[in-house]
A = this chain, B = another copy of it.
Amino acid sequence: LNEFEAIRRISGRLPDPPPEVIVPIGDDCAVLRFGDALWVVAADMLIEERHFRGSWATPEDVGYKAVAVNVSDVAAMGAVPRFVLASGGAPEAETTLRCMEGVLEACEEFGAYPLGGDTTGAAALTVDVAILGQLAHAPVLRSGADPGDLLAVTGELGASAAGLLALENGETAPERLIKKHLRPEPRVTLGRAAARLGASAMIDLSDGLASDVRHVCEMSDVGCCIDLGLLPVAGDTREYALSAGRDPEILAATGGEDYELLVAAPEEVVEALAAESEVPVTVVGQTTRGRVEFVRDGKPVENLSGWDHFADA
């Protein structure tokens, strides 16, 4: 049983949605119509020893990241974050409070207003954030990709995974990579621009490109071909991966927690997006009428897989 089977089992039991529901469970966010406006909602939970270790993430980091990963889900619909609810628990009240300080810091950073939540005791530091975002354009769903769309990613891949490797090795450098892991930068401006420009499909890269592109392809009923040689992998990421005995492109495709966006769109939309964005937009492949394929140097790469939410960290 993995998370996607769980969602399928759960969503198979749902009654018909009320009229406000434009998009139900199954995308980065659900979409609701309240009056004239479209809103998106999502939630994500972080738990010590599953998503982070207390030895390398401060409670503030954890609270900050819990908001950032939800903001990333909002960005992946083309929406902007507006309101947050945060529930947290830890063995010490002071730890819970420090985690909530991180929540507030992120709310300030991303322009979301905290509406409350819950605090409790817990054996392991735990924080769950629910978020409300607002759309100015039609939402960009996972299901809208057409065969022949370009597949582009924002920013860079693998930096967070390399930072995680460093943390797991007990290191405090490279600092840039570690910061990428602990304090992700969700792509709100870029996601909104993609919605305005008419991207076909979008998802945020939380489980890793290899896994997340499958969700887009399955829901859009398309295949794809991704060239690992095209992935935007920074020099320091590449260097650290190699020093740790890891293949940089495989790490970038499967490491997860990039919190970049994967955009499927016609060529002219990708070009317009790249032209107006301060963050790099890199074409890494294309959707097809075939199956999901990864290649490098013209040869197929098999067995790339991503994160299973039920497995241990």
Contacts and interface: CB of A to CB of B under 8 A. Distances in A.
A116 interface: yes
A81 B41 CA distance: 16
A21 B115 contact: yes
A201 B30 CA distance: 33
Interface residues of A, number: 70
Interface stretch (A89-97, A166-174, A243-251): A89-97
Interface in A20-48: 20-21, 24-26, 29-30, 32, 34-37, 39, 41-45, 47
Contacts of A57: none
Copies held by the complex: 2
A47 B85 contact: no
A49 interface: yes
Contacts of A3: 119
A4 to B, nearest CB: 10
Interface of A: 1-3, 6-7, 9-10, 13-15, 17-18, 20-21, 24-26, 29-30, 32, 34-37, 39, 41-45, 47, 49-51, 82-83, 85-89, 93-94, 96-97, 100-101, 104, 108, 113-124, 126, 128, 130, 132, 309-313
14 contacts: A10-B97, A18-B113, A34-B37, A41-B116, A41-B132, A43-B86, A43-B118, A45-B126, A51-B120, A119-B310, A121-B311, A123-B124, A126-B126, A128-B128
